[in-house]
Chain A
Amino acid sequence: DAGVIQSPRHEVTEMGQEVTLRCKPISGHDYLFWYRQTMMRGLELLIYFNNNVPIDDSGMPEDRFSAKMPNASFSTLKIQPSEPRDSAVYFCASSSQGFQETQYFGPGTRLLVL
């Protein structure tokens, strides 16, 4: 299995630009999660989906952030407009359904907003 795939791995953009991060979960997984990691705030859950439906987006910092999952094999996290404080590593993770199931993480996208 290829694991969770994220693209791009690195993104450098200027303040005000739109940024789109992409994720392909492990085939057959029902849950998809978007996390953000920073030195100051650690690992934060932004939003998660179950069977392509957003379940909890309470971690999304503000309206500039949006996430979609149009099908079981693809999700996007969009920031529009981007700001320097959005600079972080963004992780996607997926898991099967069930309390005992393990979340498997992608390699992350390192975002730098200038």
Chain B
Amino acid sequence: AQSVAQPEDQVNVAEGNPLTVKCTYSVSGNPYLFWYVQYPNRGLQFLLKYITGDNLVKGSYGFEAEFNKSQTSFHLKKPSALVSDSALYFCAVRDRSTDSWGKLQFGAGTQVVVTP
């Protein structure tokens, strides 16, 4: 079975400060990990993914995420947050060993609020 936890319902950060959104996962095999962002009244937009190789993954809009196998984490980061980064962020995992290999397991989402 695969599962994802986003321990924070909301993250508040001042504009210009570093932003971190936490994600931990549980899979029986090796994971594929994804981050998506959802702006109000919009669909989910893909930010970045970890497949294999370098543990630091760079994505859209200046975001990056670090895969940590020992801590089973895939935290999303941005060095300097913008007000426009205010949105709902979802972490998702796919277990390579699962038979239902089309399925992504999504976390509950973390609301990011960036204040001017």
Which residues of A are at the interface with B, using a C-beta cutoff of 8 A?
Answer: 4, 31, 33, 42-43, 45, 48, 50, 55-56, 91, 93, 95, 99-100, 102-108, 110
Contacts and interface: CB of A to CB of B under 8 A. Distances in A.
A102 B46 contact: yes
A56 B32 contact: no
Given A42-B108, A99-B94, A100-B32, A33 B102 contact: yes
Main secondary structure of the interface of B (DSSP, over half): loop
Contacts of A55: 100, 102
Interface of B: 32, 34, 36, 41-46, 49, 51, 90, 94, 96, 100-104, 106, 108-109
Main secondary structure of the interface of A (DSSP, over half): strand
B113 to A, nearest CB: 17
Contacts of A108: 42-43
B31 to A, nearest CB: 10
18 contacts: A31-B102, A43-B90, A48-B102, A50-B102, A56-B100, A56-B102, A91-B43, A93-B44, A99-B32, A99-B94, A100-B32, A100-B51, A102-B34, A102-B46, A102-B49, A104-B46, A106-B43, A107-B43
B100 A105 contact: no
Contacts, number: 48
A105 to B, nearest CB: 4
A55 B98 CA distance: 14
A42 B109 contact: yes
A6 B103 CA distance: 20
A31 B103 CA distance: 10
B49 to A, nearest CB: 6
Contacts of B109: 42-43
A107 B43 CA distance: 4
Most chain A beta-carbon contacts within 10 A, residue among B32, B45, B100, B103: B103
A27 B42 CA distance: 21
A17 to B, nearest CB: 24
